[in-house]
Amino acid sequence: MSNPTDSSSNSSTVLPHLLVVHDFLGLDNPSLFLPAASAMSSTTSKALDAAKSTTQTAKSSLRTMSEETGATTSSLLHHPYTRAALPFLNGGLAGMTATTVIQPIDMIKVRLQLAGEGVKTGPKPTPISVTREIIAQGKVGDLYTGLSAGLLRQAVYTTARIGIFDTFMNLLKTRAESNGTQIGFKERSAAGLSAGGLAAMVGNPADLALIRMQSDGLKPAAERAHYRSVVDALSRIAKAEGITALWAGSYPTVVRAMALNFGQLAFFSEAKTQLQTRTQWSKQTQTLSASAVAGFFASFFSLPFDFVKTRLQKQSKGKDGSLPYKGMADCFRKVAKEEGLLRFYRGFGTYYIRIAPHA
């Protein structure tokens, strides 16, 4: 407990010192502090102004950098080379995405086309029976056999097909605008046929590898190649049969691609144009309807050639060194004679479901 006497003694001791400091600093004369206060206020004001100026400069710099970045991105996207490459890139990515989804359907389609080869009568396979057979022989993942080849095919074939078609259409559009006319059905058809034929030649090796990988399971176990990937398939086929074997069935592949593109691209463009003119449907409904129409005609025109292409690309030399089919015309003749004309349209529904997403 403190002593009051001690507190009084301390106060009397400190007070004189405080008075001395008070008098020394001139606290009784405030005017002495005005210059210092004014100087301090001016310094503070300048510091604040400098800080505000720095902040505004930083914001301006960030805004300028953002605008320059946006301008650079916009300039890159609108660069002639970029604009020329975009249709190819978009087409390839869209085709690869669709292939990933519909690969099991393509697998079933190929097995339907190869079933009952050379036999006119007998049990008629269905998509369900083929699916059950594939799963029973292996596993569900076998439905995705050949996916790597399918992706490569889309990366090459669809990228080139859609890119070339868009390039041709842009040229036709420019010419039509200069002549004061509009692009007609004939021009769209010519662009579709040309784009399909040129792209098919480039993509034939990947297409052949896809058929070989999907049909490998139909062979006796001892004769199966068991391809590990599309690269393995292409290298082994080229080594065993020669590099030119990678273009086996290229003729029906080209004709099939031209027929497919005639149906897909030409009929899609025409159907969409007619729907935009004659209906008040939403853009999404018009696009889906045009795709359905294009998918039907693409399937109708191309399926016979797709059937022959599959048979030719799957075939291999027998023990006597000969092939079952000598070419496209021979395949058409033998299938029509031994299996009937309707065999060319076997699996139309499955083929239509496979084609429609690409339309």
pLDDT single digits (tens) 192-201: 888 889 999 9
Answer for the pair 154, 146: CB distance below 8 angstroms, yes or no: no
Residue 299: partners with Cβ closer than 8 Å, 6 or more residues away: 263, 348, 351, 352, 355
Answer for the pair 139, 158: CB distance below 8 angstroms, yes or no: no
The mean pLDDT value for 228-252 works out to: 94
Task: Look at 21 and 246; give whichever has higher pLDDT.
Answer: 246
Give the lowest-confidence range in 58-62, 220-224, 256-260, 314-318.
58-62
Quickly list DSSP for 162-202.
Answer: HHHHHHHHHHHHHHHHHHT----HHHHHHHHHHHHHHHHHH
Task: Look at 335 and 83; give whichever has higher pLDDT.
Answer: 335
Q: What is the average pLDDT score of the chain?
A: 81
Of 238, 259, 258, 260, which is closest to residue 248 (Cα–Cα)?
A: 238
Task: Look at 256 and 8; give whichever has higher pLDDT.
Answer: 256
Which of 21-30, 99-108, 230-239, 311-320 is the most confident on average?
230-239
Tell me the two tokens of residue 101: 């989804």
- Say which DSSP state 219 is in: S
Q: pLDDT tens digits, residue range 228-239? A: 999 999 999 999
Asked whether the CA dihedral 189, 190, 195, 196 is positive or negative, the reply is positive
Residue 48: partners with Cβ closer than 8 Å, 6 or more residues away: none
With cut-offs at 50, 70 and 90, classify the pLDDT of residue 18.
very low
Residue 118, sorted as left (phi over 0), alpha (psi -120 to 50) or beta, turns out to be left
Long-range pairs for 220-229: beta carbons < 8 A, 24 or more residues apart: 229/148
With cut-offs at 50, 70 and 90, classify the pLDDT of residue 312.
very high
pLDDT at 4: 47
With cut-offs at 50, 70 and 90, classify the pLDDT of residue 250.
very high
With cut-offs at 50, 70 and 90, classify the pLDDT of residue 50.
low
With cut-offs at 50, 70 and 90, classify the pLDDT of residue 48.
low
- Say which DSSP state 158 is in: I
**pTM for the whole thing?**
0.69
- Cα separation, 24 vs 76, in Å, equals 73
Q: pLDDT tens digits, residue range 66-118? A: 555 555 555 666 677 777 777 777 777 887 888 888 899 999 999 999 988 87
Tell me the two tokens of residue 203: 């993509």
Torsion over CA of 175, 176, 178 and 179, rounded to 10 degrees? Answer: 120
pLDDT at 73: 56
The mean pLDDT value for 160-178 works out to: 89
Task: Look at 121 and 338; give whichever has higher pLDDT.
Answer: 338
Tell me the two tokens of residue 264: 């897909």
Quickly list DSSP for 233-261.
Answer: HHHHHHHHH-GGGGGTTHHHHHHHHHHHH
With cut-offs at 50, 70 and 90, classify the pLDDT of residue 213.
very high
